[in-house]
Structure 1
Amino acid sequence: MYSPEQLDTIRSLNDAARQNPGVASRANVTQGFLSLPDADRFKAVSAIVGFTKFDGDNDPYGEHNFGAVYRLTTGTWTQERPSDDRVIAKTVFWKVNYYDNTLTYGSEAPRDERQTKRVLTIMLASEY
């Protein structure tokens, strides 16, 4: 477990990784995500960058390293999971993982940005 200060640092680095994909993190997308229309990909990434809906279901350890956004049948993208699954057209997951500087192994110090590379992966839930 991490101390409260270490957890704050990890959370802050993960927020930066999500809010600045390709700058504060490496960005990785799956084939399924790439198969979405351009407008949907753009809107999904915008929803991920602006994601704030962290709770006990998607963030049990308080690291801000996972979330989901939803395309409704109306075409709207949201981070709020609808209570009726019939209105969800697509679900996109995003995840921040921590690697060593060679991107070979998991990082032993995710709180230290000098020892850790963050990789943001974006995928369709159906690919999980």
Structure 2
Amino acid sequence: MKMIVKALRHMSLAAVLTVVFVMSSFPVFVSAAAAETYTIKMGTDKGMLAFEPSKLTIKAGDTVEFLNNKVPPHNIVFDSGKSADKTIADRSSHKQLLMSPGQSFQVSFEGATSGEYPFYCEPHRGAGMAGKIIVE
């Protein structure tokens, strides 16, 4: 500890402030780096009209990639009336149809309110192609 104090005395004020700034901003960088990206397949590997997984639990700040897998076309519409945050649900819907396997798009849940975000595929809603994202 004495060595640290001695070293700080020899450093300029600017250097000390830089060290303090870097150390104090560490939690900000750690939380941003902790965000995850998850994948939900549109159409199961077995060719069923379902999302895989159909239920996913994430944290606010995470991203979900929707991957067109099998039996296209698919899209994603979030039910804003039943979602925890109408703004996030409206912003996250992707009504444009993905026609080819391998196409994808990402939805960010940055700043999302905790709760459920139900969604469905418009062309296959009648077949029960629906899912739910739960933000903790």
Normalising by structure 2, what TM-score? 0.25
Bigger relative contact order (CA 8 A; separation at least 6) = 1
Normalising by structure 1, what TM-score? 0.27
Q: Which has the higher strand share?
A: 2
Between Structure 1 and Structure 2, whose CA radius of gyration is higher? Answer: 2
